[in-house]
Structure 1
Amino acid sequence: MPLKALGLNCTLSPSPKPSSTQKLLDQLLDGLSKHGVGTDSQRVVDLNIKPGVKHDEGAGDDWPGLRERMMAADILVIATPIWMGQPSSVSKRVLERMDAILGDIGDDGRYPTFGKVAIVGVVGNEDGAHHVTAELYQALADVGFTIPAGSSAYWVGEAMSDTNYIDLKKTPEKVASTIATLTTNAAHLAKILKASNYPAPP
Structure 2
Amino acid sequence: MRALILNCSLKKSPERSNTQLLADIVATELRNHDVTVDTVRIVDHTIAPGVQTDLGDPTDYWPTIHGQLLESEILIIATPTWLGRPSSVAQRVLERMDAMLSETGDDDRPVAYDRVAGVVVTGNEDGAHHVISEVSGALVDVGYTIPGQAWVYWNMGPGPGPNYTDTDHGHDWAEQTAGLMGRNLHRVASALNRGPRRAGD
TM-score by length of 1: 0.93
Aligned length: 199
Q: Distance in 2 between matches of 1:31 and 1:15?
A: 23
Tell me if the contact between 1:85 and 1:128 (Cα under 8 Å) persists in the aligned partners.
Answer: yes
Q: Distance in 2 between matches of 1:164 and 1:33?
A: 26
Q: Distance in 2 between matches of 1:196 and 1:8?
A: 27
Q: Distance in 1 between matches of 2:92 and 2:100?
A: 14
Q: Which residue of 2 aligns with 1:48?
A: 46
Alignment of 1:97-176 (within 5 A): 97-105=96-104, 110-150=109-149, 152-158=151-157, 159-161=159-161, 163-169=162-168, 172-176=171-175
Q: Which stretches of structure 1, 4 residues or more, deviate above 3 A after TM superposition?
A: 105-109, 168-171
Identity of aligned residues (%): 43
Q: Which residue of 2 aligns with 1:187?
A: 186
Q: Does 1:89 align with 2:70?
A: no
Q: Secondary structure of 1:193's match?
A: helix
Q: Distance in 2 between matches of 1:22 and 1:134?
A: 20
Tell me if the contact between 1:154 and 1:175 (Cα under 8 Å) persists in the aligned partners.
Answer: yes
Q: Does 1:24 align with 2:22?
A: yes
Measured after TM superposition, the shift of residue 171 of structure 1 is 6.5
Unaligned stretches of 5+ in structure 1?
Answer: none
Q: Distance in 2 between matches of 1:19 and 1:171?
A: 17
Q: Does 1:71 align with 2:44?
A: no
> What's the C-alpha RMSD, in Å, of the aligned pairs?
1.7
Measured after TM superposition, the shift of residue 64 of structure 1 is 0.2
Tell me if the contact between 1:114 and 1:198 (Cα under 8 Å) persists in the aligned partners.
Answer: no
Q: Which residue of 1 aligns with 2:79?
A: 80
Letter in 1 for 2:89: V
Measured after TM superposition, the shift of residue 149 of structure 1 is 0.9
Q: Distance in 1 between matches of 2:81 and 2:142?
A: 23
Tell me if the contact between 1:151 and 1:178 (Cα under 8 Å) persists in the aligned partners.
Answer: no
Structure 1, residues 72-105: CA drift from partner, whole Å, max 9, x if none? 0110011000000000000000000001011114
Q: Distance in 1 between matches of 2:56 and 2:106?
A: 27
